[in-house]
Each structure stands twice: as C-alpha cells, then as structure tokens.
Structure 1
C-alpha cells in the first residue's frame, strides 16, 4: 500500500524540462554529463573490470525544449556494468539507445567518451619469472550523428628516449679522453683498453628521458574487440624502449643496451611509431612528447596518416 502511494506521488512530481519552454529559442549542439564513475568490462589480456569515467551527451535541436533527460542517459550508461565486455557493437547500441530515449527532444545524435587505465602485466626483459604491472591510459570516443557511427581509441604509452646528438657529443669526449691517455704509446693491449673503458667510458653520458606516445586509431564498427593490447604492443615494438616494471641488474643492463641501440629524436620516435602502425590500424595519428632532461621544456611531434584517402 505504501509503495503504491509513493509511486502515485512520484508520478505527480513536476518536470519543468517538459512543462516549461526555453526562454531563449535556440538549438544546442551537445548537452549531457561529464565525469560519471562506472565499472566496465574490457576484453584485453583476459576480460577484466576497470574503473572508467564517462562523458555522455546528445544534441538538442528542438529550440523550444528547456532541457534533456539526464537521468535517462545515466541509466543507459549504468547498464554497461553488466558481464558483457565493451565492444564497438555494444557502444553503438548504447549511442542508439541514447538517441531513441530523447525523441521528445528531436535528438538525432549522441556521443560518449570512456576514460580508464588498462593494467597489463609485463615480463622483465631477461629475468625469468619476473614481471610487474603497468598502467596504460585509454580513451574511447564514440559518436553517432544522423546514423553515422564513428569510434576511435587512444592509448598513451611511456617509453625511454636517448638523444642521438647528446650520444654523439658524449662519444667524442670519450674518444678525446682516450687519445689523450694513450697518444704517447705506439701499441696497447686489449686488456689495457678494456681497463680504461671500465673506468672512463662514462666520462660523458648522453641524456635520456621518460617519454610518451599518445596514439589514436579508428576502430571498425564490426570489429569483435577493441584491439587495445595489439595497439599498445605495436607502439612498444616500434620504439623498442618501453619503460619497465620489475627489474634486476641484468634487466637494467639489457634496458641500457636497448637505449643505446635505439637513439632517437622526437621526430624519429613519431616516424617509427607511424610506420609500425600503418597498415595494421586504420588512420593512426601519433603525438609524442619527450620530457627533456636537458631543457625545462618538452620536445613534441605529431603525425597524421597521410596514406588515408578519407583524411
């Protein structure tokens, strides 16, 4: 009896978004919410639940309508915490449901963005059985406008970069120090050279820094998964120096060797990533940033997929 009376009262609650007209008659491009907390399931390295933040909006072309129905959007997003993993098809269904839920607002378009960290367990470079967790910031951006569906994924990957110019300058200083030390000798043994190198090879060292690549790709609407691990792996393979998790001395030495074998300017990194992804992902766009240890500012570069016919 009490529940029945409560339902009756709720039915009679005022809704000014419907009963009042907008005082300023103009259409709005997007209206909705930002920063909604919710759990979602991602099929990547095993299906797992992650904490995501969602931004959701619909258009409001009906100039006389005072406001959209925020609660309808919230309830639709709340349905994403089911056992079903997020896929391109699922996101399209959600967008269509957002549009359908606002027909009284003459809505024709919807968009959503999901931001979360994808935790992936990574093995050490050489130490058997050693591994650790690494977080990769991810953004999924989906839009449905007049029936046209567009979905893109963005991943941010940290790596190490060693400056080629700094390496060349460092080698020159070591070379000059070696010549100064042995210029008066006609012959020296390999053991003598090795001993000198152990003491003086780091007389000058090139500067390295933590760097990041922010890569955005278009996802096919019919793709069975989001393909996030493949995207991350493609970037890390291209730069060859991804930051490490758990390490022993042997892993640290192996990482130093990787840096020495993969000297790169910010331009080199951007080109390597773009080349590594082209042909495997649709319209890859790359933004790299080297957090300089020499300067108080960063070095940055951008690329676009110039091979795309529909750029």
Structure 2
C-alpha cells in the first residue's frame, strides 16, 4: 500500500501521512540502545516504503540522534522531509535536573547552525521551537527563526507544546506550518483550545506519542517495561491508574478484533482519522513495529467505528497525568511573556 502524501499548512510543505519519530533510536529514554547500523537501516527502509517525514531534535541524545539521522539520509536527502527542534538544553553532566529552555535570538541561530552540521544538510525542512521559553516573548524567538527562513537555512517553521495564545502570536510574525503536541486516545487535552486554533489558522498538527508511549501496542503492564525506561515514572502506567486504563484497553481490543487489526493499529488509525491536517509520528526501534504502524494507514474507520471508540475512550476516561514532571512536556499550558511596551 502506498503511503499518501498530505500538506502541512498552506505554505507548501508536503509530507507522508505518517511520519517516523527517531528519538528512541539514540536517546536512552526507553532503555538500552540498539546498534547504530540497525537504526540507520530502519530509517532507510522507512523512507523506501514511503514514510519520508522524519522527526528528531538536538536534545535527543543529546545531539546523537541528529548525527544518526544525518548518516541515514546521506544520498536520499531529496526524498525526505526533515524536522528537527531547538529550545531544550541539557548540561554537560547530562542530568535532567539541569535542563533549561532557551528562546533568545543568539541561541536560536547557534542551535540551527549546530543542527545543520550534525545532520550534514544545507537546510532543515521544518524547524520547531521544542518548548516555549517563558522568559522570552514568542515574537522575539519567532523573529529569529524567520531570519533563518530568509537565509535559506530553514524552509518552514513549527512550534512544539505551545499554547493557543502563543500559536496566534507566533503566526502573526511568520506563518507557522505545524504544531507538534502529544495527542492520542489517552491524551486529548489539546482538543479544547489548541486544535481549534491550529485549524482556524490553517496550521498542521503533528501528534507525538500517538500510541500512548506504547500502551496501545500491548505494553499494558508496568513490569513489562525495563529498567531505565522513563515510562515507569508516568502516572498512567502506575498502580490503580494502570488497572483502570487496562479495562479501557481491553474494550478497545474487542473493537480492534472486529476491524481485523491490532489495538495499536486501531489507536493509530484513530489519530490519522482526526483530519487531513493531522500527521502522527510514531517512533520505534523495531522494523516489525514500524511495518505494523505503517499498515494502520490501511485501517478505515467509519463514523460508526469512531463513535464506538469514543464510547469507551472519551476525553478524560483514562486515569493519571501524562507525565510526572510538567517541565518536560506540558509547557503548552503557559504562555511566553508579552512584548515590552
């Protein structure tokens, strides 16, 4: 089955309807790493199969994921749509407690130059501000990003985990092509304000963790997740929350069986059916999982199917917060400071 192409935003960026999140390939957030050569092979097979929208960030590794992706796309740069991010810094010690968010113009430029070098490319297709700096007006940050577009170093601009207010303010400075946020059957809080704002402005939506950090892939028991895996800290995977969430999962399994697909494919298809402007980026380090994810594009959900899924997995039905440390991923709830008068 061919992978459809869709447009993200009206500025001209066309990507595969499903992307590939590359973070776990060289970032030990999910435990031990796989051999680099194996991950390069996975990326190239993904591109050959039509999944050409690749997602990385300078903070993954840190830095090593961009190096990996850069190696993987050598000789096939013209076939891929490359997205990376800036804005989260980690000290040389590597301790997450020392993480910081930066959006000042000097850092924006330095981060972009460094990413271009690591990726071994002349330009970045989609450049995201990974997290909004709550000490720098969004207009200042996006103004610096706009200069990168004007210089040809970046083609399109994006935001990640941004509030509806910041999306509007950023879009007024330079068109925002896409906003990346966590969106899945068990994380739906963006539907109230952020999704409507993006659609009003014509901005594409790129959901990360569309499989609920693997929950819908079948990893429903916390003990199955190995040591060093950050999911052990996620409230949704713990104690009573997990037990309640497993009940919903079992109901979704029954719906998936009727559709002759896996629960993971059902969950991913649900995200993909949220609109032509929605392009999820499931990540994996296994070819078998990638092929399963890709096959979800062939799962057709009718209005009745979507209503059936909604009846068992409506907003707020899953228990537990999506992260234990709100600094890491929920900064979209807050806005950057206003410009000085």
Instruction: Tell me which of the two structures has the higher relative contact order, counting C-alpha pairs closer than 8 angstroms and 6 or more residues apart.
Output: 2
Higher normalized strand content (fraction of residues): 1
Compute the TM-score of the two structures, normalised by the length of structure 2.
Answer: 0.23
Compute the TM-score of the two structures, normalised by the length of structure 1.
Answer: 0.24
**Larger-Rg structure:** 1
